[in-house]
Amino acid sequence: MTDTLSAPSEADSRYAWTRLFISLIVSTIGGIGLWSSVVVLPVIEAEFGIDRGGASFPYMATMIGFAAGGIFMGRLVDRFGIAVPVAIAAVMLGVGYILSAFATELWMFVACQALLIGMLGSSATFAPMVADTSHWFLKHRGIAVAIVASGNYLSGTVWPPILQESIAIMGWRDTHIWVGIFCIATMIPLSMLLRRRPQIDQGHVPVARRAAAGPAPASPTALLTILALAGVACCVAMSMPQVHIIAYCGDLGYGPAVGAEMLSLMLGLGIVSRLASGVIADRIGGIGTLILGSTLQCLALIFYLPFDGLVSLYLVSALFGLSQGGIVPSYALIVREYFPARQAGTRVSIVLMATVFGMALGGWMSGEIYDLTGSYEAAFLNGILWNLFNMAIAAWLLFSRFRSGRGLAAA
């Protein structure tokens, strides 16, 4: 019995790799919705006369919309394939960015970000894209999932400097209009190249794959809930540097442009980390990759506390990027190990969207902690505590596997 493809020749085929490349491009373009609100955070703070916590709210609203939309888009993938959600996303991103350029009140800007850009736009280009890609690979699933999941990091590497420069030249409103036009012009044609659908086995998880994964450490519902909690925890921690590094650099006197460079560096090296983790995951599995990435991310967060010099911040940001890239894709691999392929779009989206909710919660929480304390030190400590919670869950999952008589090599 095959895993997800009734025709084994389709798995890991040349077409599968070509499709993966197209999916990566779509994910990179559509992922702009995750980062534009981070880049404009200082501008929005001045534009609407709000504090740091208020300026972080559009990001939180976008990510919550992104999380909710990802589950909806995941269901569409299970039913219609990935092309339909991507086409919808292209239109909604275009409309959302163009309308947000004409916002005269903060609530208008937030509504465009949450509903159009997050929920109905960028959400289709992350978890649903990961789920779709997982159907086309068996032997190289770990690296394939890591590659397509790198799209949001590649987006975070490419877009912030472009947006920062464009905002400096023409302002954030005109920049948003051109972003909307670009999304429509590029993503709709690309969606047409993804119309072919895999032939998915409608049965249960194949015996061979279930044996390799080992017994599930909990019931299906409990396991999904545990993975979702882990996703929230790791990304509350992850959000502190990713969401606030631009504002943090501004507070230290280095300027937002330097912060944008650090974010780009962080996410660029996150791609390296994500790809390396994909190779590792094909050897040790999703749970082993999760605990490795979570431990390294916690160490990197700790280094932000004593070091705030310009050179040291670049180095710590680089270390952070190299540490945490493999965490999120590992959840998708764990889901694919324990749940039927026909449920992949929905269940992968639920868990990965929990990580998005963690980013939203952490981004807002860090802004509020900053407003209460006047610095980011407590916000970094908050992130470290959430990271330790994630590590505890990952350790429990690993211990459950060992207790069942399976070693890490069978993960």
- Which tens digit of pLDDT belongs to each residue from 63-121? 888 888 988 898 898 889 999 999 999 999 999 999 999 998 889 999 999 999 999 99
Predicted confidence (pLDDT) at residue 151 exceeds the cutoff of 50: yes
Domain chopping of the chain, boundaries: 8-402
Distance CA 159, CA 65 (A): 20
**What average pLDDT does the structure give for the chain?**
85
CATH number attached to the domain at 8-402: 1.20.1250.20
Tokens at residue 139, please? 């032997």
pLDDT in tens, 22-73: 999 999 999 999 889 878 888 888 888 887 667 778 877 888 888 889 888 9
Angstrom distances, CA of residue 267 to CA of 261, 288, 325? 10, 22, 8
Angle, nearest 10°, between helix axes 52-80 and 32-39?
170
Predicted confidence (pLDDT) at residue 409 exceeds the cutoff of 80: no
Q: What percent of the chain has pLDDT over 70?
A: 90
Yes or no: say if 402 and 87 are a contact pair by the CB < 8 Å rule.
Answer: no
CA nearest neighbour of 73 among 58, 90, 94: 90
Residue 218's pLDDT is what?
A: 66
Higher per-residue confidence, 119 vs 205: 119
Predicted confidence (pLDDT) at residue 206 exceeds the cutoff of 60: no
Tokens at residue 300, please? 């990197």
Residue 387's pLDDT is what?
A: 95
Angstrom distances, CA of residue 326 to CA of 74, 86, 140, 157, 357? 21, 24, 15, 16, 18
Residue 200's pLDDT is what?
A: 59
Whole-structure pTM value:
0.74
How would residue 166 be classed by pLDDT, with cut points 50, 70 and 90?
very high
Residue 408's pLDDT is what?
A: 35
